[in-house]
Amino acid sequence: ILNVEQSPQSLHVQEGDSTNFTCSFPSSNFYALHWYRWETAKSPEALFVMTLNGDEKKKGRISATLNTKEGYSYLYIKGSQPEDSATYLCAHNTGNQFYFGTGTSLTVIP
Amino acid sequence: KAGVTQTPRYLIKTRGQQVTLSCSPISGHRSVSWYQQTPGQGLQFLFEYFSETQRNKGNFPGRFSGRQFSNSRSEMNVSTLELGDSALYLCASTPWGSSYEQYFGPGTRLTVT
């Protein structure tokens, strides 16, 4: 069993604040690291897929980095907006299976 | 393109009963994976089907089973329901030739009383 851990479990920030979350994963059997955004009552939506150590991806105000040697990834949100409120999931892809963390629940207060 | 659809969206069953959940993948996708989410747990992998064959299986008891049809639609079945089976069940479809992409459905919320 591969344990993927995310921290913090939940986060409340003021509109305009920048924030970041952590995803830790076993560095063995690494194929890819995925970040998803999951709003209540909707389907999880893919944000980023990262495969190489040192990868950095960016989509608007959201970016992510990857360190496969030490087994962690960071997700950054710059200037949080209320519409960023969601649960952010990471998943470690071994090529055969996805192992998900429990997510970080972000609430952005207007 | 239509997304992944799951039916029903909500279901209430009694302990001991059995249940069947359905997942229709995105057109052209041949792989379907199933996940269970219970409170405080990450998505737990149940199984993956590709071209009507189970390709991978997670660590769940034999009460959980699935199948895939020739049109790639998939069903999962849980027999002899237990209270602990109450969960959100998500399916995800993957395009042919990709190990990176998973497109999720909205899930089926199962409550066992």
The tens digit of pLDDT for each residue in B47-58 reads: 999 999 999 999
Among partner residues B43, B58, B106, which is closest to A42 by beta-carbon distance?
B106
Q: Of A79-88, B14-23, B93-102, which range is least confident?
A: B93-102
Checking if the pLDDT of B98 tops 80, the result is no
How far apart, in Å, are the Cα atoms of A8 and each of A22, A103, A106? 7, 8, 9
CA distance B19 to A2: 29
pLDDT of A84 reads 97
Q: Find, in chain A, the residue whose alpha carbon is nearest to that of B88.
A: A41
CA distance A73 to A63: 11
Strands (DSSP E) found in A39-101: 45-50, 56-59, 62-67, 72-77, 86-93, 98-100
Nearest to B110, CA basis, from B16, B4, B21: B21
Copy the structure tokens of residue B38: 């219970």
Facing residues of B33 across strands? B48, B92
φ/ψ of A82, rounded to 5, equals -55, -35
**For residues B16 and B81, is the Cβ–Cβ distance under 8 A?**
yes
Q: What residues of A are in contact with residue B102 (Cβ under 8 Å)? A: 34, 46, 98
Q: Does B101 touch chain A (CB under 8 A)?
A: yes
Q: Within 13 A of B86's CA, how many CA atoms are on the CB side?
A: 11
**Mean of all residue pLDDT scores within chain A:** 94
Q: Does B39 touch chain A (CB under 8 A)?
A: no
What SS3 class is residue B23? Answer: strand
pLDDT of B112 reads 97
Q: What residues of B are in contact with residue A49 (Cβ under 8 Å)? A: 100-101
Q: How confident is the model at residue B1 (pLDDT cuts 50, 70, 90)?
A: low
